[in-house]
Chains A and B, each alone.
Chain A
Amino acid sequence: MTAQELNVVGQSVPRRDGLGHVTGKTVYIDDISFPDTLYLKMVRSPIHHGIIRGIDFSEAEKVPGFVRALTWKDVPKNIYTILCLIGVGPDDEPVLAQDKVLWQGEQIAAILAESEAAATEAADKVRLDLEELPAVFDVEEALKPGAPILKPWGTNYFVYDYEHGQSNAFRKVRYGDVQRGFDQADYIVEERYTTSPIEHAPTETTGCIVRPEPNGRYTVYTNTQALFFSLDNSALILQAPFQNLHFVGGTVGGGFGGKVDVIVEPIAILAAMKTGRPVKYRYTRQEEMRISSTRAAWRLYYKDGVMKDGRIIARQVISYHDAGAYNRHSPYAVTKHAANLSGPYNIPNVHIDAHCVYTNRQPSSAMRGFGVTPASFAVEVQMDRIAELVGMDPWEIRFLNAYRNGDMRPHQKEVEDATLIEVMQAAAEMTGHDLPANLKAMSSWDKEAQHG
């Protein structure tokens, strides 16, 4: 169907929720309130790694408005992992910490009180008896012998391919013969790239408000990006019948991947179950910064085999994703990442080891460009480096190596819907960069004029 035959697809109609937004009538979760609501605040770990010896609520209980505290003993299935819904395991994260804490900020106990101020004050007055343990904060340090081990299965990395009866310390991609490529190459280009953690910083912080209904159900008003992900995980954690949970949302004050984790809902529902009252749990801005998952820090080691004419004939990448203390969505990110480390280029020999590593840091999780953003950064800076080495224009080297439809990518998926050449031609034209005639004539559908 051509664009001319379409009525409304392709039209810039105003956004449906625009009138609500400009009049302030759009209802976000923070705009929903119920009488008798309790406020939930977390008691959090002040240390990066340690054993919990004891929790003393006696001073907190004296705060006017204090209602009750919840600990891991109150959570029916306390240890979970979000991606269990699609078969990823094992469970690794406690809803509330049990015997130890793995990061500064980890939730240890939930305080419920009649007001936000009372909940905050009571949470501050909980006394923790913690025994501090050595901590590790760097992805490569965490994999060295002697590093404190964070996971009960005895490693600081996610174990891939257990479903195939293997236990691999990283996600592997093997394509062609990378050593032969290096042997044939005129140049070897080795470089290290790193990125630092980033906060999603949505204008609306993460949160929910839960209301017990007279029929035994719980209505959860939440700003999650994924309602059923949150509902299903909550039901599993609470060992509650799925039909007892009713999630309502769909209006999110900024997500960017930061509201895909299932952190606030299960404990807020549990609090509503234990008290029979509505419960609100919304992150403060400081919690959004320090507690909600970040975009991960990454470290990537590139080694490329390059011919004098600019063709990249071999690439080895060893990369490390800093998951922080727990899985969340990180194991998936590393797989997605592994499929994108060669970028939009046709490289015949590729060897990738992508590690999902645990450290004693604020957990990282999904964010816009999940796993691909660091790959694109490294690939594209590497392209310029290679271009300079072989004395080639940065545009030309990308055209030369660009994947075409029908090429095979290192993860053995045939390229379809490729338009890299076309976007480069369009960008050159709009910026007045005059491309040589042979590059202007290239096409993603023409494999003949390919790769030199």
Chain B
Amino acid sequence: MASRIVEFTLNGRLTEVMVKPLTTVQTVLREQLGYTATKSGCKQGGCGSCTVLVDGQPMMSCLLPAEDIAGQDVVTLEGLTPRDGLHPLQQAFVDNYAAQCGYCTSGMILVGKALLDSNPEPLRDDIIDALAGNYCRCTAYEPIIEAIQDAAGRMAASNGKEAHR
């Protein structure tokens, strides 16, 4: 089968790649485009370190064929990072020591982002459910759960401020 061009939006920018059939989004991002925040922990869909957001939904890019994202909106951790400073989730991960070795962090933050977008005031169990596909060997998940809770509070507070303006 021949290679084909796939067009999608990556972190807000229209992007074109030429891919062979069954090339994964992970390979496109890391090897073709150099977006290495998306990690490669197992290539089996088992660890979630390669999580990206596709139209706002967390997906494991190691199992996702590039053809499937044609016309869709893909966000990686690079795209979440504001030009200045940090996203509230990123800041909460720093403040709560939610990253140790850091290898799972990209996936964890993006899962947190998808959760908070759909559920701005998640219960602890909601966060635990959201993290079910993401593996961390260092932290016991507890500081990650706390960081997502913390970020939810920060984002609610700043939204509240904006609403009062």
Q: Does B78 contact A (CB under 8 A)?
A: yes
Q: How far is the CA of A20 from the CA of B86 in the complex (A)?
A: 11
Which residues of A sit under 8 angstroms from B46, Cβ to Cβ? 285
Which residues of A sit under 8 angstroms from B30, Cβ to Cβ? 31
Question: Restricting to A88-125, which residues have a CB under 8 Å from any CB of B?
Answer: none
Q: Does A254 contact B (CB under 8 A)?
A: yes
> Do the beta carbons of A22 and B109 come within 8 Å of each other?
yes
> Do the beta carbons of A203 and B135 come within 8 Å of each other?
yes
Q: How far is the CA of A19 from the CA of B41 in the complex (A)?
A: 20
> Do the beta carbons of A254 and B81 come within 8 Å of each other?
no
Which residues of A sit under 8 angstroms from B81, Cβ to Cβ? 23-24
> Do the beta carbons of B95 and A26 come within 8 Å of each other?
no
Q: Does A51 contact B (CB under 8 A)?
A: no
Report the stretch among B2-10, B32-40, B65-73, B157-165 that lies at the interface: B32-40
Q: How far is the CA of A256 from the CA of B136 in the complex (A)?
A: 13
| Most chain B Cβ neighbours within 10 Å, of A203, A284, A285 | A203
> Do the beta carbons of B135 and A285 come within 8 Å of each other?
no
Q: How far is the CA of A204 from the CA of B102 in the complex (A)?
A: 10
Closest chain A residue to B79, Cβ basis: A24
Within the complex, the shortest CB–CB distance from A261 to chain B, in Å, comes to: 18
> Do the beta carbons of B42 and A204 come within 8 Å of each other?
no
> Do the beta carbons of A23 and B90 come within 8 Å of each other?
yes
> Do the beta carbons of A205 and B41 come within 8 Å of each other?
yes
> Do the beta carbons of A285 and B44 come within 8 Å of each other?
yes
Which residues of B sit under 8 angstroms from A205, Cβ to Cβ? 41-42
Which label, helix, strand, loop or mixed, suits the secondary structure of the A interface?
Answer: loop
Q: How far is the CA of A211 from the CA of B47 in the complex (A)?
A: 29
> Do the beta carbons of B99 and A203 come within 8 Å of each other?
no
New A-B pairs, 7, CB < 8 Å, besides A22-B94, A252-B101, A285-B41: A17-B102, A20-B102, A23-B81, A27-B36, A30-B40, A31-B36, A202-B101
> Do the beta carbons of B90 and A22 come within 8 Å of each other?
yes
Q: How far is the CA of A34 from the CA of B15 in the complex (A)?
A: 23
Which residues of B sit under 8 angstroms from A255, Cβ to Cβ? 101
Question: Restricting to A204-260, which residues have a CB under 8 Å from any CB of B?
Answer: 204-205, 252-256
Q: How far is the CA of A31 from the CA of B40 in the complex (A)?
A: 10
Question: Restricting to B72-115, which residues have a CB under 8 Å from any CB of A?
Answer: 76-78, 81, 86, 90-91, 93-95, 97, 99, 101-106, 109
